[in-house]
Homo-oligomer: A and B are copies of this chain.
Amino acid sequence: MKQLQSLRQIYPPDRFTEDAAFLAAFESDGLTAFRQRPLAVVMPENADEVIATVRWCNEHRVPFVARGSGTSLSGGSLPIADGIVISLNRLKRIISVDPDQRIAVVEPGVINLDVSAAAAPHGLYYAPDPSSQTICTIGGNVAFNSGGAHCLKYGMTSNHVLGIKAVLGTGEVVTMGGPSTDSIQPDFTGLFCGSEGLFGVALEITLRLLPRPQRFHTVLVGYHSLKDAGDAVSAVIDAGLLPGAMEIMDALSIEAAEAAVACGYPEGAQAVLIVELEGPDEKLQHERKRLEEVIAKTNPFAQRVAVDEADRLFIWKGRKSAFSAVGRLSPDFLVQDGVVPRKRLGEALVRIQAFAKESGLRVANVFHAGDGNLHPLIMFDDRESGALARAEALAGQILRMCIEMGGSITGEHGVGVEKREYLPEMFDAASMDFMHRIRQAFDPNLICNPGKMFPGTEAPALTTHGLHPLEKSGVISRE
């Protein structure tokens, strides 16, 4: 494309491509229902190249999406038609690890788990652990303020990012926050976390490291009823325990995980609960006793304690594989992500099952139970006419239920393209206007990942065809 010629000069030929076969690999992200082909993909190797690219985009008003491994589950890293993709996977330097200050400074393309690997010799680790942590990148974690099983105790990505150097949509390079854990000024770093690529591109990220827990105590509990498992979560918290993680899987997701990785969960369980305590030995001795007492009162029919680290990872394997495993039960599925108050988990699950029954679709439930973060997996067969629309309507019912119950339409996957239309149901017009104004302070020309998060047709260059509501509004196209 002619327009891109001056951009091409920034890169050697092997790191700038318009080749259709190559572009196809970037057409989609973890939300596989949607596809879009970019004009080109560039692969910078350092911050200067990223800065030059963003400045070029701003000057030529060419929109871009910066992406790492593209594991977004809300379509956040979906390409933009008439836009380019800035692939950040080569910016994968761990710039420094400071065990005294307990911080690491990394580039955005660093894989989440590689931070912990680099910190391990010092007895430290990086706490946020999305299920995709073996492949997802810190830049993406920042963009979506990612969570993970251990958010219950440790909070989200934003709780672990101390500073960010970024290039904004204007082309300016700014520093937000810094190495100090005490704050100065409004929390610009926190603002950037969760901005879904709309504010600019993070170039250097200062992460907080924590001492590795000395020991884990991981319990797998089987229940004959999903409600009992849900109630157990509140009972554990009410007993004053704060596990590192508390996860629930329902019968369908257990079936899927069993088929996929033979994780040996209790046969006949309608739900399993994984509770993981962590800390020094002496503390665990007392807490595990307390946990046993609490669990005993929640009608479990089976229980298993991990005997060693291998066994612990084996218990987690079922949970961590659940999303992909559900693919075995259904040709297509939507992963939903909503939040309800923890005490209303049981009620929410009952309502989701009722919605599912009405719509004639199966829903598997996997969730970060401790913080009320639901992940309903809505199964459908895209070859059936209208099936996707039914699945999406069901997803909408679930999200509206979350709003109504005082929760949120996303716990950790972000708004992306998938949930843009629901945002105004959570926030009133003045609040939406205000958010948009803030966004424009970062990116006045709307070149940074336009069409994501905010509803409206602000990325007119996007291809419009098909019948999906998001397609109608001009946000995405689907093959």
A contact residues vs B (CB 8 Å cutoff): 100-101, 145, 147, 151, 156, 158-159, 168, 172-176, 178-188, 190-195, 199, 211, 214, 240, 280, 282-283, 285-286, 339, 341-343, 371-373, 406-412, 415, 423, 426-428, 430-431, 433-435, 437-438, 440-442, 453
Report A103 CB to chain B, min CB distance, Å. Answer: 9
Residues in B with CB closer than 8 Å to A373 are 182
Q: Are A188 and B441 in contact (CB under 8 A)?
A: no
Known: A185-B453, A430-B173, A430-B174. A191 touches B190 (CB 8 A): yes
Residues in B with CB closer than 8 Å to A441 are 434, 437-438, 440-441
Residues in B with CB closer than 8 Å to A187 are 145, 158, 187, 190-191, 193-194
Q: A186-B191, A187-B194 are in contact. List 4 more A-B contacts (CB 8 A).
A: A168-B434, A179-B341, A282-B282, A434-B442
Q: Are B372 and A180 in contact (CB under 8 A)?
A: yes
Residue of B nearest to A441 (CB): B437
Q: Are B182 and A211 in contact (CB under 8 A)?
A: no
In the bound complex, what is the Cα–Cα distance between A168 and B176 (angstroms)?
A: 23
Which of the residues B184, B408, B415, B428 comes within 8 Å of A180, measured between beta carbons?
Answer: B408
> Lowest 6 CB-CB distances: which A-B pairs, in order?
A190-B190, A187-B190, A282-B286, A182-B411, A174-B431, A437-B441
In the bound complex, what is the Cα–Cα distance between A427 and B178 (angstroms)?
A: 10
Q: Are A174 and B434 in contact (CB under 8 A)?
A: yes
Q: Are A339 and B159 in contact (CB under 8 A)?
A: no
Q: Are B191 and A188 in contact (CB under 8 A)?
A: yes
In the bound complex, what is the Cα–Cα distance between A54 and B5 (angstroms)?
A: 51
In the bound complex, what is the Cα–Cα distance between A427 and B175 (angstroms)?
A: 7
Residues in B with CB closer than 8 Å to A100 are 341-343
Residues in B with CB closer than 8 Å to A411 are 180, 182
Q: Are B214 and A180 in contact (CB under 8 A)?
A: no
Which of the residues B147, B179, B192, B285 comes within 8 Å of A182, measured between beta carbons?
Answer: B147
11 A-B pairs, CB-CB below 8 angstroms? A100-B342, A158-B183, A172-B433, A173-B430, A176-B431, A178-B426, A179-B406, A180-B406, A182-B372, A282-B282, A434-B442
In this complex, the member of A180, A190, A407 whose beta carbon has the largest number of chain B beta carbons within 10 angstroms is A180
Residue of B nearest to A434 (CB): B174
Q: Are B199 and A194 in contact (CB under 8 A)?
A: no
Q: Are A195 and B186 in contact (CB under 8 A)?
A: yes
Report A292 CB to chain B, min CB distance, Å. Answer: 14
Report A427 CB to chain B, min CB distance, Å. Answer: 6
In the bound complex, what is the Cα–Cα distance between A56 and B179 (angstroms)?
A: 41
Report A444 CB to chain B, min CB distance, Å. Answer: 9
Residue of B nearest to A344 (CB): B100
Residue of B nearest to A454 (CB): B185
Q: Are B184 and A410 in contact (CB under 8 A)?
A: yes
In the bound complex, what is the Cα–Cα distance between A76 and B283 (angstroms)?
A: 43
Report A323 CB to chain B, min CB distance, Å. Answer: 18
Known: A343-B100, A343-B101. A184 touches B426 (CB 8 A): yes
Report A179 CB to chain B, min CB distance, Å. Answer: 5
Residues in B with CB closer than 8 Å to A283 are 282-283, 286
Residue of B nearest to A282 (CB): B286
Report A154 CB to chain B, min CB distance, Å. Answer: 12
Report A285 CB to chain B, min CB distance, Å. Answer: 8
Residues in B with CB closer than 8 Å to A408 are 178, 180, 182-184
Q: Are A415 and B184 in contact (CB under 8 A)?
A: yes
Known: A280-B286, A438-B188. A183 touches B211 (CB 8 A): no
In the bound complex, what is the Cα–Cα distance between A174 and B428 (angstroms)?
A: 8
In the bound complex, what is the Cα–Cα distance between A441 and B440 (angstroms)?
A: 9
Residues in B with CB closer than 8 Å to A431 are 174-176
In the bound complex, what is the Cα–Cα distance between A440 and B438 (angstroms)?
A: 9
Report A264 CB to chain B, min CB distance, Å. Answer: 30
Residues in B with CB closer than 8 Å to A194 are 183-187
Residues in B with CB closer than 8 Å to A412 are 182
Residue of B nearest to A289 (CB): B282
